[in-house]
Amino acid sequence: MFSTPKAFVKIYFNCPHASSSPESEVLTDIFTRLLLDYLNEYAYYAQVAGLDYGINHTESGFEVTVVGYNHKLRILLETIFQKIAQFKVKPDRFSVIKEMVTKEYHNNKFLQPFQLAMYYCSLILQDQTWPWMEELEVLPHLEAEDLAKFVPMMLSRTFLECYIAGPSVSIF
């Protein structure tokens, strides 16, 4: 034990609506990227304070990971939760993220053979997963309004699982 007051918090947002269709899968992906984008300005100050965070799209929703000094984690987590609860879609940022996601989906054509094999194995083994071709077909038809309608519906059925580690962590 090194007696450093650092903590680790991982919160899984399990959202049944997040992977119910190719459209919802893509919208969840865009949501997590926009959330990171919206928190980007705040992230600089969090890093200066010795904190780090990540928001990742998962097969059943998304996850928030926060690492750093435990006396400041609560402030960062409150900010992240506030951004999630008061999520508003900015059409200009939506367009940028949508274009980025489209390019990434197109790049799936150029994966190495072993990467494609692993991808197709995961499609077979995982429940409610969609081929990237189906997600790519849906992507051009999505607009900022679709995401604005989808996020409250996705969050309405969400439940959380938390893992917290560190000395005297008082997050909640």
In a domain, 74, yes or no: yes
Q: How confident is the model at residue 73 (pLDDT cuts 50, 70, 90)?
A: confident
Domain tally for the chain? 1
In a domain, 93, yes or no: yes
Q: Where are the beta strands (DSSP E) in 5-149?
A: 6-14, 51-58, 61-69
In a domain, 89, yes or no: yes
DSSP assignment string, 109-148: GG--HHHHHHHHHHHHHSTT---HHHHHHHGGG--HHHHH
Model confidence over 75-127: pLDDT tens digits? 899 999 999 999 999 999 999 999 999 999 999 989 999 999 999 999 999 88
In a domain, 172, yes or no: no
Span 1-9, mean pLDDT?
79
pTM, two decimals, is 0.91
In a domain, 1, yes or no: no
Please give the pLDDT value at position 124.
92
- Is the per-residue pLDDT at 171 higher than 60? no
In a domain, 38, yes or no: yes
Please give the pLDDT value at position 50.
87
Find, among 93, 87, 43, 89, the residue nearest to 68 by Cα.
Answer: 43
Q: Which domain holds residue 136?
A: 6-165
Q: How confident is the model at residue 167 (pLDDT cuts 50, 70, 90)?
A: confident
What's the CATH number where 107 sits? 3.30.830.10
In a domain, 171, yes or no: no
